């Protein structure tokens, strides 16, 4: 038997349930809104503070890639809100869809990055970015949903034991239970880096910041060294120190640069030692010493050189110009 909410929303099925709410499929019995919608109904009235925060956040954010709320009633028994229905389902059901597909992955995440950028500008931090919370409309457009544990400007610090549940594989270190650091948008950058890796790896998850572990290293999984560029991006996202993470305002640019490098098959600088020569495709680069005459002729005070033992191709760098001089010793 259908249940009516707010004198208009008639239940037509169940979509599922989350940690704090049941999610129902509903239709507008009054006919003002056509099609199917979702109604999120609070399970436990003791969680009304978080539920109300989610409603306030969604209502305050006007962005095409953030879930659109149609109606809400926090005084109802039980409290509920009605939002758009995303026919394409959630990202977590598509683990194999993006395996090794960097352009498709970036095209999904760039709109989400912009949505987070807008949210952060209005002092809303999502805090639970993960594949189940990225939805797709019928036309394939990605949508960020479930702001159930978001942080809004002025919120008191809350205990995170419940908030971390279901998100342990994506939660930033500073948000773990028992820690009391400030809540900043950097937590969403950390989580989004893990989502990026999850998509490209076909659904794999890594602990903490260990995305370069041998069994998880993308050049090993996907068979090409160009995927090191993705790890270079993750080095600026999935890092323990929040201050060292890429600012959300720069993240879209960094993602687009990574897309260009991977698609262009550019040789990654960081691990060039031991990687396949980009000319012959057979030899692997080794360190090569340069004599003083070379240094004088080219006026390079402190050169670094790599040489392919198969074809002799050399790569020469002026160490003073390297953004990351330490790569040579790694």
> For residue 237, what pLDDT is reported?
97
Do the domain assignments include residue 292?
yes
> For residue 59, what pLDDT is reported?
87
Could you give the CA distance from residue 298 to residue 46 in angstroms, rounded to a whole number?
72
User: What CATH number is attached to the domain comprising 48?
Assistant: 3.30.200.20
Element containing residue 22 per DSSP (H, E): strand 21-28
Residues 66 and 136 occupy one common structural domain: no
Instruction: Say if residue 64's pLDDT is above 80.
Output: yes
> For residue 154, what pLDDT is reported?
58
- SS3 of 91, please? helix
Q: Could you read off the pLDDT of 32-55 as tens digits, one per residue?
A: 899 999 999 998 888 888 888 889
| Domain final residue pick, 61, 84, 107 | 84
Do the domain assignments include residue 133?
yes
Residues 234 and 297 occupy one common structural domain: no
Percentage of the chain modeled with pLDDT above 90? 55
Do the domain assignments include residue 200?
yes
Could you give the CA distance from residue 278 to residue 318 in angstroms, rounded to a whole number?
20
Instruction: Say if residue 141's pLDDT is above 80.
Output: yes
| Domain final residue pick, 69, 84, 99 | 84
- Count of beta carbons in the 10 Å neighbourhood of residue 80: 23
Q: Could you read off the pLDDT of 280-311 as tens digits, one per residue?
A: 989 988 888 776 666 676 777 777 788 899 99
Residues 254 and 150 occupy one common structural domain: yes
For residues 135-151, one letter each, b for 16 or more C-beta atoms within 10 angstroms of the residue's C-beta and e for the rest, the string is bbbeeeebbbbbbbbbb
Residues 107 and 147 occupy one common structural domain: yes
> For residue 294, what pLDDT is reported?
65
Residue 221, phi-psi category: left (phi > 0), alpha (psi -120 to 50), beta (remainder): alpha
Structural tokens at position 15:
């979509």
**Candidate from 65-74, 161-170, 203-212 with smallest mean pLDDT:** 161-170
Do the domain assignments include residue 279?
no
What is the number of domains present in the chain?
3
Do the domain assignments include residue 72?
yes
Structural domain including 26 reads 4-84
Question: What average pLDDT does the segment 94-110 reach?
Answer: 97
> For residue 163, what pLDDT is reported?
45
Instruction: Say if residue 166's pLDDT is above 50.
Output: no
Instruction: Say if residue 10's pLDDT is above 50.
Output: yes
Residues 128 and 34 occupy one common structural domain: no
When pLDDT is cut at 50, 70 and 90, the band that residue 161 belongs to is very low
Do the domain assignments include residue 30?
yes
Residues 62 and 180 occupy one common structural domain: no
Contact 108, 92 (CB under 8 A): no
Question: What average pLDDT does the segment 111-136 reach?
Answer: 95
Do the domain assignments include residue 268?
no
Residues 100 and 235 occupy one common structural domain: yes
How wide is the angle at C-alpha 165 spanned by C-alphas 104 and 236, nearest 5°? 45
Contact 24, 39 (CB under 8 A): yes
Q: Between residues 2 and 233, which one has the greater pLDDT?
A: 233
Q: Please, which residues bridge with residue 151 across strands?
A: 125
Structural tokens at position 43:
């399970």
- Residues in contact with 276: Cβ distance below 8 Å, sequence separation at least 6, in sequence order: 225, 282, 283, 284
Residues 110 and 134 occupy one common structural domain: yes
When pLDDT is cut at 50, 70 and 90, the band that residue 160 belongs to is very low
- Residues in contact with 116: Cβ distance below 8 Å, sequence separation at least 6, in sequence order: 126, 129, 144, 185, 188, 192, 248
**Candidate from 228-242, 243-257, 277-291 with smallest mean pLDDT:** 277-291
Average pLDDT of every residue of the chain: 87
> For residue 155, what pLDDT is reported?
58
Residues 53 and 147 occupy one common structural domain: no
Residues 43 and 98 occupy one common structural domain: no
Over its C-alpha atoms, the chain yields an Rg (Å, rounded) of 24
Residues 104 and 235 occupy one common structural domain: yes
Structural tokens at position 51:
């539920």
Instruction: Say if residue 178's pLDDT is above 60.
Output: no
Question: What average pLDDT does the segment 82-89 reach?
Answer: 95
Residues 231 and 295 occupy one common structural domain: no
When pLDDT is cut at 50, 70 and 90, the band that residue 162 belongs to is very low
Could you give the CA distance from residue 236 to residue 218 in angstroms, rounded to a whole number?
16
């Amino acid at each position: 038997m259908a249940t009516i909410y707010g004198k208009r929303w008639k239940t037509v099925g169940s979509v599922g349930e989350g940690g704090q709410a049941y999610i129902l499929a509903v239709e507008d019995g009054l006919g003002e809104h056509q099609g199917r919608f979702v109604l999120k109904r609070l399970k436990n009235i003791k969680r009304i503070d978080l539920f109300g925060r989610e409603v306030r956040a969604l209502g305050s954010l006007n962005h095409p890639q953030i879930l659109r709320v149609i109606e809400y009633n926090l005084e109802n028994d039980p409290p509920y809100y009605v939002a758009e229905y995303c026919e394409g389902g959630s990202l977590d059901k598509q683990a194999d869809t993006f395996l090794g597909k960097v352009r498709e992955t970036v095209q999904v995440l760039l709109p989400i990055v912009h949505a987070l950028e807008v949210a952060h500008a209005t002092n809303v931090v999502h805090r639970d970015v993960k594949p189940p919370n990225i939805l797709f409309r019928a036309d394939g457009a990605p949508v960020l949903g479930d702001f159930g544990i978001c942080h809004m400007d002025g919120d008191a610090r809350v205990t995170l034991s419940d908030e971390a549940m279901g998100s342990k594989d994506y939660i930033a270190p500073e948000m773990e239970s028992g820690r009391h650091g400030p809540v900043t948008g950097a937590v969403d950058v950390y989580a989004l880096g893990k989502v990026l890796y999850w998509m490209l790896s076909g659904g794999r998850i890594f602990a903490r910041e260990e995305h370069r572990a041998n069994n998880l290293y993308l050049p090993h999984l996907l068979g090409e060294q160009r995927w090191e560029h993705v790890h270079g991006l993750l080095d600026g996202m999935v890092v323990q120190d929040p201050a060292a993470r890429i600012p959300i305002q720069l993240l879209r640019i960094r993602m687009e640069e990574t897309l260009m490098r991977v698609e262009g098959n550019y040789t990654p600088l960081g691990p060039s030692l031991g990687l396949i020569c980009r000319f012959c495709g057979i030899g692997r680069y080794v360190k090569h010493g340069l004599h003083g005459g070379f240094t004088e002729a080219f006026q390079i005070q402190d050169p670094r050189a790599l040489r392919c033992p198969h074809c002799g191709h050399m790569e020469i760098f002026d160490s003073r110009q390297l953004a990351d001089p330490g790569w040579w010793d790694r």
